[in-house]
Structure 1
Amino acid sequence: MSLITRMAAAFKGEVSAEELEAYRRAGGFVYTELQQTEALRSKLAAEGVNLWHGPQAAAGQLLCTWNAFVLQAIGEHLLDADYAADPRTVGYVPQVTSLQVGACFAQVEGWVSRARQAAGNSRYLVEKEILLPADLPEWAEASPCPLPHLHGMLAASRAIRQHAEVALGAFEQTVADADQHRADLERLRQLAAEAATAADYAEGLLDTDPAPRMHEAIEQRLQRALDIYYHLGQLIAMPQLIAGYRGPDARQAVPPANLAVVDARNFDPWCLTDPQRRSNWQADPRARQAIKEMWDYDPDPAETLRIQAEIDAALQQGAVTFATDSSGEPYGSFYCCPFAAIYLVRRPVVIAGRRLRAMQQFTFEVSAEDVPKGGPFKREIIVSTFTPTDKIDYCDPDGLHGD
């Protein structure tokens, strides 16, 4: 990036999109996957395969590829619209755009992986792993939303709409028993009409060169259109979901119910540690010492235990599960003491006051490492895309770390 570009971006308060561009390039294979699944969709239609009764793994492949495509398309169009609006700052974007693109790109790999698993294993059922239809990532907020960001959302909705309408047409051709599924087919058409209307209305407002006070109204309509198209593609791929679908506003994140009573005077000090690896850590002398010191420094053990109880309740209710890699193996423990599990969110849930959405990975970090230096005791739900590591951090307050 030239000095002039960096200065112009700094003046506008924009941030580097270098990492986002790397994820864009990495996710480019989504379009090859989309071509393959559209060929599969056409093949199923030609053979008269009704997805209400057809192979469930094929439905999963269609659904997961659709989700990956929508997420990739939103991210790419947001970046391109911002670059087109001001060529002086290509490679930099507003904070709201950076957050939204990052949230979309972060989920692409997971959906492609699931699509490929479904293609390779007829017994793989994504609906057993994730609550479907899945939601788009949380919408980033800005007031007012930058005009190029709105144009990017509109461009994404146009591209996604085209594929959704083709998919819906191909799907309707396969339904030989249309009378039996008339209500569900009408529901799909209704959703397509609702999304198209929201997008068309937003486009009409954008054509007027709207004042900043109008941006929120446009943004809300584009968000709704994209939310509906995301769900519509999933319902077309897996029509068994239609009967229980209540719309994009129906699924709110709720805290786990029926929490166990927390007793801070009598508890297992290893209760925060990944149960899948707990015995390994219990055999490690340094881990035992680190766990003891962590609890010794904890100013409010009841609060720490309460958050873990929320996680345990969400796990028991199926809102979250232990994260696994593409081969189905558990990710393993977080590398910092207390070596908590890595979790995958299956449906929206609130833990420790934080809203978590489907497909996100998280862990619970608890640390007294900074307390002797006057820092705070840390209790934090960390949301990230976790990767394997050989690193171990015992997070002991004396500052002695493992390799």
Structure 2
Amino acid sequence: MGMMKRMAAAFKGEVRADELEAYRRAGGIVYTELEQAESLRRRLAQDGVNLWHGPQGAAGQLLCVWNAFVLQAIGEHLLDADYAADPRTSGFVPPVTAQQVEACFAQVEGWVSRARQAAGNPGYLVEQELLLPADLPEWAEASPCPLPHLHGMLAASRAIRQHAEVALGVFEQTVADADRHLNALRRLRQLVAEAATAADYAEGLLHTNPNPRMHEAIEQRLQRALEIYYHLGQLTAMPQLIAGYKGVDARRAVPPVAVPPVNARNFDPWCLTDPQKRGIWQSDPRARQAIKEMWEYDPDPARTLRIQAEIDAAFTGGAITYATDAGGNAYGSYYCCPWAAIYLVRRPVVIGGTRLRTMQQFTYEVSAEDVPRGGPFKREIVVSNFKPTNQVDYCDPDGLHG
């Protein structure tokens, strides 16, 4: 990139989009999957297959491809709109755009993988792994939202709207027993109308060359349109979800829970450790010492336990489950003391003040390692794409056991 382009981008406070472009290229596989999914949808329609009663594997494939397509489309249109608005800084984007694009592209691979699994194995049911319909990633915030960012959201909504309306039309043709599902079909048409209205209104406001004070109003309408289209495509692919659908405003958080005091008789010092591997760590003398020291250095054990209680409540309520690899094998525990489980988010949930989204993986890291050197006691919900490792960290504060 030329010096002038870098200087112009720096002046505008923009960041490089090299990595985002790499993910865009990798995510291009979505369009091959989309063609195959649309062919499948037409074939099911020609065969008179009603997805209310048809093969769940096919429904899962259609749903996962839809989600991957929407996420890829949003990311691409945000990038392209920013480049078109100022070619002098093509290859650079505002931080809010970079953050939003990254959040969208980060989920594409997971949905494509699940789509291919469903296509290859009719017995694979994505609805047993994740709670559906899934939500879009959290919206990045900026005040005011850059005008090119809004144009990118509008362009994405146009592209997604076209596919959503075609998919709904094909779906309606397959519903031979429409009388039985009349209310559900009306709900889908209502969603189409709501999303189209929000997008049309936002487009009208954008054509007025709005001042920055109006950007938030436009942004909110475009966000709502995209969220509805995202859900609409999932409901069309898997109509069994319609009956329990509560709308895009439904957000689930873990309710407050009571926690036992650390000095209670029945307190279990291993309560933070992965239950699947707890016995292994309890038999390790170094691990027992590390757990003992962790609790001794914890300045607020009740706070530590409260977050774990939220994790346990989310697990019991089905919002999260243990993360597994493609073969269905559990990842096992995190490599650091207290060796917590690694979880997969099945529906949006808030734990320890961290908003977690569908398909994210996370663990709970608690550590007193830095306390003797004046550092903080760590309690953190760590969100990442975890990989197997043979590394073990006892995180002992005194440095005597690691």
Unaligned runs of 5+ in 1: none
The one-character-per-residue Cα deviations of 1:351-374 (angstroms, maximum 9, x if unpaired) are 122222222221111111211111
CA deviation after TM superposition for structure 1 residue 274, in Å:
1.3
* TM-score when normalising by structure 1: 0.95
The CA distance in 2 between the partners of 1:331 and 1:38, in whole Å, is 34
8 Å CA contact 1:256, 1:350 repeated in 2 = no
Residue 262, structure 1, aligned to residue 260, structure 2:
yes
Tell me what 2:315 maps to: 315
Q: Residue type matched to 2:394 in 1?
A: Y
Aligned to 1:343: 343
Q: Which residue does 1:222 correspond to in 2?
A: 222
Output the amino acid matched with 1:156. Answer: A
Aligned residues between the structures: 400
Residues 74 and 101 of structure 2 are in contact (CA less than 8 Å); yes or no, is this contact kept in structure 1?
yes
Report the Cα offset of residue 233 of structure 1.
0.2
Mapping for residues 138-287 of structure 1, pairs under 5 Å: 138-249=138-249, 251-256=250-255, 259-266=257-264, 267-287=267-287
Please tell me whether the aligned partners of residues 81 and 148 of structure 1 are also in contact (alpha carbons under 8 angstroms).
yes
Q: What per-residue deviation string (whole Å, max 9, x for no partner) do you get for residues 263-313 of structure 1?
A: 211422221111122223333343333222222211111211121111111
Match of 1:33 in 2: 33
> For 1:2 and 1:396, how far apart are their aligned partners in 2?
49
Gaps of 5+ in 2: none
Tell me how far apart the structure 2 counterparts of residues 138 and 99 of structure 1 sit (CA, whole Å). 10
What's the TM-score, normalizing by structure 2? 0.95
What is the one-letter code of the residue matched to 2:262? A
Residues 254 and 276 from structure 1, CA distance in 2 versus in 1: closer, same or farther, beyond 3 angstroms? Answer: same
Question: Which deviations, in whole Å up to 9, do the C-alpha atoms of 1:210-247 show, x marking residues without a partner?
Answer: 11111011101100110000000001001111122222
Aligned-partner Cα distance in 1 for 2:218–2:189: 23
Q: Percent identity?
A: 80
Q: How many Å apart are 1:179 and its aligned residue?
A: 1.8
Equivalent pair of 1:168/1:236 in contact (CA under 8 Å) = yes
Contact 1:256 1:349 in 2 (8 A): no
d(CA) in 1 for partners of 2:401 and 2:136?
39
Greater shift, 33-42 or 240-249, is seen at 240-249
What CA distance in whole angstroms lies between the structure 1 residues aligned with 2:178 and 2:71? 31
Asked if the contact 2:319/2:349 (under 8 Å) is kept, the reply is yes
Give the Cα separation in 1 of the matches to 2:9 and 2:337.
40
Q: Whole-Å Cα distance in 2 between the matches of residues 198 and 344 of structure 1?
A: 33
Q: Is the CA contact (8 Å cut-off) linking 1:50 and 1:176 kept in structure 2?
A: yes
Query: Does the 8 A contact of 1:394 with 1:400 survive in 2?
Result: no
Deviation at 1:260, TM superposition (A): 4.8
Q: Secondary structure at the match of 2:28?
A: helix
Q: Is the 8 A contact 1:322 1:330 kept in 2?
A: yes
Partner SS, residue 380 of structure 1: strand
Which stretch of structure 1 is more off in the superposition, 10-19 or 224-233?
10-19
Write the letter of the residue equivalent to 1:263: P
- How far 1:344 sits from its partner (Å)? 1.2
Are 1:92 and 2:96 an aligned pair?
no
Aligned-partner Cα distance in 2 for 1:336–1:16: 33
**1:66 equivalenced with 2:66 (yes/no):** yes
Please give the alpha-carbon distance, in whole angstroms, between the structure 2 residues aligned to 1:86 and 1:112.
32
| Contact 2:286–2:401 (8 Å) recurs in 1 | no
Match of 2:382, SS? strand
Q: Distance in 2 between matches of 1:255 and 1:235?
A: 25
Q: 1:54 to 1:391 in 2, by over 3 A?
A: same
**Distance in structure 1 (CA, Å) of the matches to 2:400 and 2:360:** 32
Q: Matches of 1:14 and 1:389 in 2, distance apart? A: 36
CA-CA distance at 1:91 after TM superposition: 2.2
